[in-house]
Amino acid sequence: MTDDASVIGAGTPDGLERLWTPHRMAYIKGENKPTGPDSASTGCPFCEMPKLDDDEGLIVARGALVFCVLNLYPYNAGHVMVCPYRHVADYTDLDDAETAELASVTQRAIRVIRYVSAADGFNIGMNQGRVAGAGIAGHLHQHVVPRWGGDGNFMPVIARTKVLPQLLTDTRRLLADAWNSSAVDE
Ligand SMILES: [Zn+2]
């Protein structure tokens, strides 16, 4: 990612003003990471996101028991997370219905990202517990990270989201629009 790309991506000051809502983004960035025990849902970003509208919360899709949300600081463009609504820390805390929906929404996310961006592969998984690298250890989240040969040489519009939070809105819309499209399954 070059500085030039970020300048191009910034667009007009007017556009930036419309799209950028820093007061909302603070939730997602985890600037106010919960300081209490992991069992406390108060202030947990993954508990707060679903309360926002889809654009503000960067929600790609909402299931009955789990939701799919864009990562604000993606490892790669299109990096999403699948989380239960319920504030639980451990994979074994999920009940059968949550486990099944976490799996099916993860599958859907893979299909949608592949359809939208022609990803060559994926890294899928959870970091469980702080010792394993979980940034927000109190609320389980499954990462779905698309990979390309030579990561980064694909749709420039999406690639810019790595540096420009407001363009995550565009990525979210792309994925959300494809989510319920039957074209994904063809
Ligand atoms: Zn939570």
Report the CATH number that the domain containing residue 175 is assigned in CATH. 3.30.428.10
Annotated catalytic sites, by residue?
A: 141
Total count of domains within the chain: 1
pLDDT of residue 118: 86
Residue 164 to residues 4, 20, 110, 175, Cα–Cα distance (Å): 12, 10, 23, 17
99 closest CA partner among 63, 132, 129: 63
pLDDT of residue 1: 38
pLDDT of residue 151: 62
Please, which contacts does 124-129 make with residues 24 or more away whose CB atoms are closer than 8 Å?
126/91, 128/89, 128/90, 128/91, 129/89
How far is the centre of ligand 1, averaged over its atoms, from the C-alpha of 44 (Å)?
5
How far is the centre of ligand 1, averaged over its atoms, from the C-alpha of 159 (Å)?
28
DSSP three-state, residue 93:
helix
Identify whether the C-beta of residue 111 lies closer than 8 Å to the C-beta of residue 184: yes
DSSP three-state, residue 92:
helix
How far is the centre of ligand 1, averaged over its atoms, from the C-alpha of 126 (Å)?
15
pLDDT of residue 47: 93
pLDDT of residue 175: 95
Where the chain has pLDDT below 70, the residues are 1-36, 150-166
Place of tokens 């490892």: 75
Range of the domain at 173: 3-185
Q: Say which residues have a Cβ less than 8 Å from residue 108's Cβ, sequence separation at least 6.
A: 61, 68, 179, 184
pLDDT of residue 36: 66
How far is the centre of ligand 1, averaged over its atoms, from the C-alpha of 98 (Å)?
15
How far is the centre of ligand 1, averaged over its atoms, from the C-alpha of 83 (Å)?
9
Residue 147 to residues 74, 159, 176, Cα–Cα distance (Å): 12, 12, 19
